[in-house]
């Protein structure tokens, strides 16, 4: 079947695959934990508005910007509403830019669908 050196190579390969898989699972869990932490900061009204807006921006970029465009747009609207009420122009501009990225992404996606038909 396998020679002694091939058996060692096979075992090392299996260990590498298992370790890689465990690292992947750990990073997915860590990402979710980071997203939960960012959302908790956004919901904590005792924190400064700028801290909350920054957390909301990071939450959107890290969790939704490229994977869930509808949620990303909703989060942009939340950020725009809060930043406009508090007169935080830096964050108003930031959320408008993120919304623009959302719109451009949607247009590109629709264009690809039309070209496929």
pTM of the full structure: 0.66
Residues 6+ positions from 82 with CB-CB distance below 8 Å: 49, 52, 53, 56, 88, 91
Please check whether residue 110 lies inside any domain of the structure. yes
Q: Which domain holds residue 68?
A: 34-116
The pLDDT of residue 2 is 52
- Mean pLDDT per 10-residue interval, the chain, length 117 residues: 66 71 52 82 95 93 78 92 94 91 82 76
Other Cβ atoms less than 10 A from the Cβ of 79: the count is: 26
Please check whether residue 19 lies inside any domain of the structure. no
Query: Reduced to 3 states, what is the DSSP secondary structure of residue 106?
Result: helix
Please check whether residue 22 lies inside any domain of the structure. no
For the chain, how many structural domains are there in total? 1
The pLDDT of residue 28 is 46
């Amino acid at each position: 079947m396998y020679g002694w050196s091939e058996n060692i190579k096979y075992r090392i390969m299996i260990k590498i695959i298992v370790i890689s898989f465990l690292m992947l699972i750990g990073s997915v869990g860590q990402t979710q934990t980071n997203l939960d932490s960012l959302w908790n900061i956004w919901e904590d009204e005792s924190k400064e508005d700028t801290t909350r807006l920054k957390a909301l921006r990071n939450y959107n970029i890290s969790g939704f910007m490229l994977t869930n465009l509808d949620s990303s747009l909703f989060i942009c609207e939340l950020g725009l509403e809060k930043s406009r009420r508090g007169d935080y122009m830096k964050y108003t501009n930031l959320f408008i830019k993120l919304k623009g990225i959302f719109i451009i992404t949607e247009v590109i996606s629709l264009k690809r669908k039309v070209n496929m038909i």
